[in-house]
């Protein structure tokens, strides 16, 4: 089986994650002295209120160990893994996932830099899931993802 792993910047709802069978690795952030972990778009703390609080805000990419553990879990079940991350231009999340994949020494993990965030990342993940559901192979999907990514763009209407 091919499994998708992503980070919480894809803003999946918990029900979407379960329905699509996608593992979400949390991105952490600190507000004041409080460490928080993003999870699903419908299960996070009220982030908007935290921003209004004017406390110091800092984000951090997931530790490679979080990806490593998720990868090892899927590999132990005989699965192949496609990990689609937040853009490397915005975060070190891709790097964390890449380092974790290298540690597994498995050829059954493909870490892909979405070069996207939020909605674009969600679209890319959704398209990857459709390819899995159509029965495409791990190799076919890894070759198709850059083409799909390159068709996703953001339109600025302002």
The CATH number of whichever domain residue 142 belongs to comes to: 3.40.50.10440
Mean predicted confidence (pLDDT) in 120-139: 96
Residue 70 lies in a domain: yes
> Tell me: the pLDDT tens digits for 9-64?
888 888 888 999 999 998 877 777 776 656 655 455 666 676 677 677 666 778 89
> Exposed, middle or buried: residue 105 (CB in 10 Å: 0-12, 13-18, 19+)?
exposed
Residue 55 lies in a domain: no
Rounded Cα distance between 12 and 105, Å, is 29
Residue 145 lies in a domain: yes
The SS3 of residue 148 is helix
Residue 68's domain comprises 2-25+63-151
Residue 40 lies in a domain: no
Structural domain count of the chain: 1
pLDDT confidence tier of residue 115, bands split at 50, 70 and 90:
very high
| CB neighbour burial string for 108-140, b if at least 16 within 10 angstroms, e if fewer | bbbbbbbbbbeebbbbbbbbbbebbeeebebee
């Amino acid at each position: 089986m091919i499994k998708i792993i992503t980070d919480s910047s894809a803003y999946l709802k918990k029900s979407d994650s379960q329905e699509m069978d996608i593992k979400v690795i949390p991105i952490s952030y600190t507000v004041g002295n409080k460490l928080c972990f993003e999870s699903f778009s419908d299960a996070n703390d009220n982030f908007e209120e935290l921003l209004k609080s004017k406390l110091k805000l800092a984000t951090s990419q997931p530790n490679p160990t979080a990806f490593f553990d998720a990868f090892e879990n899927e590999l132990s079940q005989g699965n192949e893994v496609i990990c689609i991350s937040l853009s490397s231009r915005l975060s070190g999340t891709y790097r964390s996932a890449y380092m974790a994949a290298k540690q597994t020494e498995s050829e059954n993990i493909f870490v892909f830099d979405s070069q996207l965030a939020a909605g674009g990342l969600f679209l890319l993940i959704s398209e990857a899931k459709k390819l899995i559901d159509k029965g495409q192979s791990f190799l076919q999907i890894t070759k198709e993802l850059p083409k799909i990514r390159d068709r996703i763009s953001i339109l600025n209407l302002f």
